[in-house]
Amino acid sequence: MCAVATLLALAMATSVSAHKESDAYLTLRTDPTDTHRMRGQWDIALRDLDYAIGIDGNHDGNITWGELKARREAVERYALGHLAVQGDGLVCTLEPTGQAVDEHTDGTYAVILFDAVCDKNIPSRLTVTYTLMYDIDPYHRGIVTLHAGTRTAGAALGPSRPSASLDMREPDRWGEFTSFLVDGIWHIWSGIDHILFLLSLLFPAVLLRTDGWVPVERFWTACLDVVKIVTAFSVSHSITLSLAVLGFVHVPSRLVESGIALSVLVAALNNIVPLVHRRAWLVAFAFGLVHGLGFASALTGLQLPPGAMAASLGGFSVGVEIGQEAIVLAFLPIAFALRKTRFYRRGLLRWGSWTIAAIALGWFIERAFDITLPWFSVLMPN
Amino acid sequence: MEHLSPARCGAARRPWLPRLLIAFMACGACMARAQDATPYVPARDDVVLQRVPPRTDPRVRQFDTLRAAVAAKPGDVAVAVALAHAYIDYGRSTGDARYLGRAMAVIEPFMRTATPPVPVALAHATILQSRHAFNEARAELEAVLRRDPDSAQGWLTLASVAMVQGDYAAANHACVQLANAAGGFMGQVCSASLRSLDGHAPQAYALLTMIEDPGPRAPPDIRAWIEGLMADTAARMGKPDVADGHFRSALRWAPGDNFLLADYGEFLLDQGRAAEALTLVAGDTQSDTSFLVRVRAEAMLGLPAAAIDTATMDARFADMARRGDHLFLREQADFLLHIHHDAAAALALAELNWKTQRAPKDARVFLEAALAAGQPRAAAPVIAFVAASGMSDPTIDPLVAKVKAQP
């Protein structure tokens, strides 16, 4: 009866597919009150979701609001896992904020409300990469609309064209520079490993090692030492930061993060069992190369036209400098004032360095071997 | 019944007459919502949002069985093609185009090879044909038939594509090859379809009468299909009463078949039986072809619902345009001409449609639009085609005469 079954093909000769094929509607708009967030709404047909992940729990042919609510998490995981939003190449995280439904011309759609939280202020170029349902319906299309103030861009995304971009605003080099500058400052202030490394190198700057530690006589002696250390650190981390962000160097992040932990450990131990003192700036320079790769992780994927790239990368580097200078400026006068005290030499230099070494060892073990030390992670953020 | 509106639009368990009234009013509200599409949170958990095919539907259980088989044997061509055809057939009878995409996804892994297996290429050609990619479907079929000249399904599908394209010589060749590959019965149906189109409707009808009863073992879909062909052919012979009987009998064999509903509905509209057309498609509002019949019937009857349903149909066409698809050119031309009375726009679409589709209904809307737009000469390609092919149909012949009579 095979021949008869094939007969059916003819019946279709002049027939049409009487329904629209599968679409979903995705809208992203900037929020004038919050420069880090894009507000998103994604309408996906219940029929499609039912086919993809199952919504009609009791299989009675009726999808109820209760059944959809029960599958909220699965719907969000499925959908948002097939969407990437990038601002200037930097990945924005997608956070679901609500669930609703919506009527379209071909049936009821589930509505996923979400925020795209972009690391930066409103990026100059927003890119959406859409891969929903490609494996189960190649004719599915994502009808994407991007709104930035008065600008709008739209596209129908499918397997042959999965990405769309919108230039969100006119180039604003100064704005880019300052916004990345602020990011750079925060990056070093919130990066406790960078701070501990710097402090470990700075502790002995107000002392001289002869037999034991002897306080330096003049402030400028200490200051010169500090300037050498900080400059060496800045120069080296700027080099690797630029190379990594521009894509010339790529080192796996596990290696970089372990290297940073190791640098903190070595710098702290050097204060307890001094190996290098006069040339602490060399240590700063060598390990600064590793720290620069760590800074670059904040900008992984950054894609900008050359002018904007220079402004952004420059802003970030300067921000990191300002952040670390601020730490140095706060540290140096206090250290100089306290340098003759027992508290400074025993308490800070010796026990402080031991503490830092212990923390750094914990980080190193966690990062290098990709394990979690339970007692440690409670005490210290990774 | 998969394509009823969501229950909040209709009210499925009420008696018939109030149900119709409520459907008219409530669906107006739905559609007003459809246009601005404002998200809302339903009031209660037991609100039914969407009908989907239930597990009690044997075809759905068949999908599950075949899907499990595909999962168990991922590289097995036969199982994958069986699932793809199950989706294609379901999409056909319900008119739900989503199933074409699902079928495509099933065969896609095999399509990535340099020469996909013949059954896969045939399934692919059928999907292309269903999506109105006739040129691509034809190229695929011709390539398959060079590899496997005995493929009955290949020749049959090629014949139907060639008929839609108006290439009757190619269709005739395919029908002959089909008869060689699959026997007289198949060849006869194929030839009858072609004869019905190229101006030999009485001969076609006689051929179909001979095979009208293919025996008790023939599936109902085959009988529905032959009855549908007989209905079209009888209408072409100017025998509407005979055609009507065949349409009814076709729908007895395949109740709710999306293609038959639209075809019969359009026939009823042509006969001035708008009220019957409206009743016919009342249960199938989610199908665009049925909905078009509904809108035209409402307009002919001067019903107030016509305005709101016209807006709904506008929105549906707008949604199709947003995805970049233009699969409904003929239907849209028809809609623009008869509902919006925008002859110029209708003519532009009919002209575009004619580049890929040359069935009698395609010829008709082109002629109607050209006359209504006061540009009868624009329809010259149709006049030439009718003269060359011998196409003859009571819905077309007077229009051809009218165009020819114009200076």
B147 touches B135 (CB < 8 A): no
Selecting from A62, A99, A143 the residue whose C-beta is nearest the C-beta of B323 gives: A143
Give A34's strand partners: A31
- With CA atoms as reference, the chain B residue closest to A47 would be B52
Judged by CB atoms closer than 8 Å, whether chains meet at A3 and B289 is answered as: no
Chain B neighbors of A11, CB-CB under 8 A: 92, 221, 224-225, 228, 259
Q: Are A10 and B160 within 8 A, CB to CB?
A: yes
Pair of tokens at residue B125: 């050609």
Distance in angstroms (rounded) separating the CA atoms of residues B61 and B54: 9
Question: Checking DSSP bridges between strand A213-215 and strand A83-87, what pairing results, if any?
Answer: unpaired
Q: Do B37 and A43 touch (CB under 8 A)?
A: yes
Q: How many residues does chain B have?
A: 407
| Residue B37 to residue A104, Cβ atoms within 8 A | yes
pLDDT at B37: 65
- Return the pLDDT at B350: 96
pLDDT, tens digit (0-9, with 9 covering 90-100), for B336-346? 999 999 999 99
Residue pLDDT, tens place only, A199-244: 888 888 888 776 677 788 888 888 888 888 888 999 999 999 888 8
Window from A38-42, A333-337, B282-286 with minimum mean pLDDT: B282-286
Least confident interval from A4-18, A341-355, B219-233: A4-18
pLDDT band at A8 (very low <50, low <70, confident <90, very high): very low
Domain residue ranges of chain B, discontinuous segments joined by +: 326-407
**Residue pLDDT, tens place only, A138-186:** 999 998 988 888 888 888 898 888 998 877 766 677 877 887 888 888 8
Q: Is the pLDDT score of A16 beyond 70?
A: no
ipTM: 0.82
Structure tokens at B100: 């074409």
- Among B17, B20, B9, B8, which residue's Cα sits nearest to residue B281? B20
Q: How far apart are CA B47 and CA A281, in angstroms?
A: 71
- Domain covering B326-407 in this structure, CATH number: 1.25.40
Residue by residue, pLDDT tens for chain B (407 residues) are: 233 223 333 333 333 333 333 333 333 333 333 344 689 999 999 999 999 988 888 888 999 999 999 999 988 999 999 999 999 988 888 888 899 999 999 999 999 988 899 999 999 999 999 888 999 999 999 999 999 999 999 999 999 999 999 999 999 999 999 999 988 888 999 999 999 999 999 999 999 999 888 788 888 888 998 999 999 999 999 999 999 999 999 999 999 888 899 999 999 999 999 999 999 999 887 788 899 999 999 999 999 999 999 999 999 898 888 887 777 899 999 999 999 999 999 999 999 999 999 999 999 999 999 999 999 999 999 999 999 999 999 999 999 999 999 87
What digits encode the pLDDT tens for the residues A269-279? Answer: 888 887 766 67
* Subunit contact A20:B316, Cβ cutoff 8 A: yes
- Name the percent of chain A lying above pLDDT 70: 89
Taking residues A55-76, report their average pLDDT: 94
- The predicted pLDDT at position A49 comes to 96
**What percent helix, strand, coil does chain B show, rounded to 5?**
70, 0, 30
> Which chain A residues contact residue B287 at CB under 8 A?
18-19
Q: A121 or B231: whose pLDDT is higher?
A: B231
Mean pLDDT of the A190-205 span: 86
pTM: 0.74
Q: List chain A residues with CB under 8 Å of B218.
A: 4
**What proportion of chain A, given as a percentage, has pLDDT over 90?**
31
What the block records as the tokens of B184 is 């007289």
- E strand intervals along A46-88: 62-64, 83-87
Burial class (CB in 10 A: 0-12, 13-18, 19+), B272: exposed
Q: What is the dihedral of CA B400, A17, B129, B83, to 10 degrees?
A: -160
Q: Is residue A121 pLDDT above 70, yes or no?
A: no
pLDDT at B20: 36
Query: What pLDDT score does A5 carry?
Result: 42
Residue A96 confidence (pLDDT): 96
Task: Answer whether A103 sits within 8 Å of B328, measured CB to CB.
Answer: no
Work out the mean pLDDT of chain A and round it to a whole number.
84
Residue A120, SS3 per DSSP: coil
